[in-house]
Amino acid sequence: MRDLLGWLDHRTGYRGLLRSVLYERIPGGARWRYIWGSTLMFAMVVQLITGVVLWSAYSANAQGAWESVWFIQNQMAGGWLLRGIHHYMAQVTIVLLVLHMMQVLIDGAYRAPREVNFWFGLILLQLVLGLSLTGYLLPWDQKGFWATKVATSIASMTPVVGPSLQQLLVGGTEYGHLTLTRFFVLHAGVLPAAVVLLIVGHIYLFRRHGVTVPKSAKPKEDGYFWPEQVLKDSVASLIVMATVLGLVLWSGGAHLGAPADPAEPYAAARPEWYFLFLFQWLKYFPAGWEVVGAQVIPGLVLALVAAMPLIGQWKYGHRFNLGVGAALLGGIAMLTWQARVEDAADLDFILAKAEADALAERASDLAALPQGIPITGGLVMLRADPLTQGPRIFEANCSQCHRFDGHDGLGGQPDDAPSASDLAGFGSREWLAGLLDPDQVATETYFGATAHARGRMVRFVQRGVAGFTPEVRADLEKVIMAVSAEAALPGQASVDADHAAEIVEGRQLFSSEAIDCARCHTFRDISDGDVGPVLTGWGSREWVLGMLHDPSSEAYYGEDNDRMPLFGVDELLTDAEMGLVADWLRGDWAGQRTPEP
């Protein structure tokens, strides 16, 4: 063995190399204050390892990015942990960078002859920020998409080259496949390679000049990198890792929003917390001054920081630099705090965030269903989901007149009072029983605010039904069961099955003399009445679609149609949209079923 290592050393000289790496002399011995650089090195290695493994499952295209990240997060063994470590280590890296810079500044380690190394560090800082920025987009979720749009918009404001720069970054005029491939090559190729090169240079220069022993430090014996300093560095790295693991476990892993959608607003768009100060900063620049706020001033600040080693040569230079550092840090902290405070007091933001979280959860639930994510991607999947789209379509097209459980479908309140029935639970026994309740039929929930308020149906309920004997009332219950069974609501399937006999009976009673719905309504094979809407298949998907398509057709309200638009005939909604709103009203969607209201 010894001979073998001897041979290897002769051929490679590894012993000398190892010796020079490990037995670096540290004047004044190992110290805790020297750990920051090493913890950053540790963080970089962690990012490299987790990043490469994430890469092995990631797909950089508009129909694969969100989808593959969802897969990593939810299906891959340990994927959530891997992604969580990568995500939170990135954030901890920023904190460590700030601490490292503070230590360098306070100890005066940026001054001659270490200027070049300080500049290397400054470039590294920007590369790391670049890694954060590019990494934020890669999951291709709403959050990353809209936040990055702001970032590339700022790039486009650069004088002269701005538009071209933006096009280069985005890979064209619109966000798409090439935006992802380009951000990915920056994130996983160009920037890490530059980081590795600069770290090599950084460490080389650091070794060349050695540590900066703080003036205040008590004189100690000289020590060596191995093992004294390495032990301290390892302890620090362990603490860093424990912090990251703590964050992953506490948060349940990195968040994944709903798939990116250029046509859907995302009012909760915010950058990562360490860019929040810039975000807040931009609010203070009125029209025409964006470039100053977004580029000129940050550029000048960076130039000032880069000039610190030169300023440091001046008598009061070090104090000046410390002052600048403290002011910058304080300013950044204040802006960040301000941004947080404003968001915490902004109800719209809080609501938008809650909505975004709900949507993210729904997208993830849909992806986890047996049918999974279609080849067309998560966004198409989400757009075909009645639970997600139904309320939006309802709010935009129906809520001017109708309500859903008292609101506009999305939980809001339209300006005008309702002028048509509340459609929550439409098709259910409860809904029908309410319609046939003399106390309810003429309220806003049913026909109270419509042209039918004084119509035959209301009259029938208020005069006829109100006078029903208990026996007839019991029969009416069965008719309600029978008509509601026509809807075949998924949420009522088991109840309908339980009452099969009553339903059959109810169909007979529909035209009974005492109840006589058939006087006005057509139902199954009973077709005497053609005054009111046909009740065959009432509340079923086909029936609702027919109503949306043409409420003034003979089978529905005919000439009695109040103000309901002919959504299909007039092409106000597409077939797909009508299908989505019908499915949503009927509680017919894939995945978790909420009970009928």
Chain residues that interact with another protein, rule: CB under 8 A: 10, 62-63, 146, 149-150, 152-154, 156-157, 162-164, 166-168, 170-174, 176-178, 261-269, 279, 282-283, 285-291, 294, 348-349, 352, 383, 396-397, 400, 412, 415, 565, 570-572
Pairing type for strands 223-224 and 25-26 reads antiparallel
Nearer to another protein, 290 or 430 (CB): 290
Exposure class string for 20-44: b at 16+ Cβ within 10 A, else e: eeeebebeebbbeebbbbbbbbbbb
* The dihedral sign for the CA sequence 304, 307, 313, 319: positive
3 state SS of 594: coil
Nearer to another protein, 153 or 313 (CB): 153
**Cβ contacts of residue 509 below 8 Å, gap of 6+?**
475, 476, 478, 479, 482, 515
Distance CA 364, CA 273 (A): 24
**Nearest-approach distance from CB 145 to another protein, in angstroms:** 10
Nearer to another protein, 312 or 568 (CB): 568
**Nearest-approach distance from CB 395 to another protein, in angstroms:** 10
User: Crossing angle for the helix pair 65-74 and 79-106, nearest 10 degrees?
Assistant: 100
**Nearest-approach distance from CB 153 to another protein, in angstroms:** 4
**Nearest-approach distance from CB 146 to another protein, in angstroms:** 6
Token digits of residue 462: 């208020």
Is residue 54 classed exposed, middle or buried when 0-12, 13-18 and 19+ CB atoms within 10 A define those classes?
buried
Nearer to another protein, 393 or 487 (CB): 393
**Nearest-approach distance from CB 525 to another protein, in angstroms:** 38
Nearer to another protein, 159 or 595 (CB): 159
Nearer to another protein, 352 or 520 (CB): 352
**Nearest-approach distance from CB 169 to another protein, in angstroms:** 9
Of the candidates 193, 338, 234, 210, the one whose C-alpha atom is nearest the C-alpha of residue 280 is 338
**Nearest-approach distance from CB 127 to another protein, in angstroms:** 19
**Cβ contacts of residue 192 below 8 Å, gap of 6+?**
48, 51, 131
3 state SS of 529: coil
Radius of gyration of the chain, Cα coordinates, nearest whole angstrom: 34
Nearer to another protein, 354 or 514 (CB): 354
Nearer to another protein, 82 or 339 (CB): 339
- Tell me the sheet residues that pair with 407: 404
Q: How far is CA 470 from CA 266, 283, 434, 477, 539, in A?
A: 55, 68, 17, 11, 27
**Nearest-approach distance from CB 251 to another protein, in angstroms:** 24
Distance CA 61, CA 304 (A): 40
Number of neighbouring beta carbons within 10 Å of residue 507: 20
**Nearest-approach distance from CB 582 to another protein, in angstroms:** 18
**Which residue reads 């989505």 in tokens?**
580
Exposure class string for 443-477: b at 16+ Cβ within 10 A, else e: ebbbbbbbebbeeebbebbeeebeebeeebeebbb
**Nearest-approach distance from CB 150 to another protein, in angstroms:** 5
Q: How far is CA 455 from the centre of its chain?
A: 49
Nearer to another protein, 81 or 396 (CB): 396
**Nearest-approach distance from CB 430 to another protein, in angstroms:** 31
Nearer to another protein, 414 or 490 (CB): 414
Nearer to another protein, 502 or 577 (CB): 577
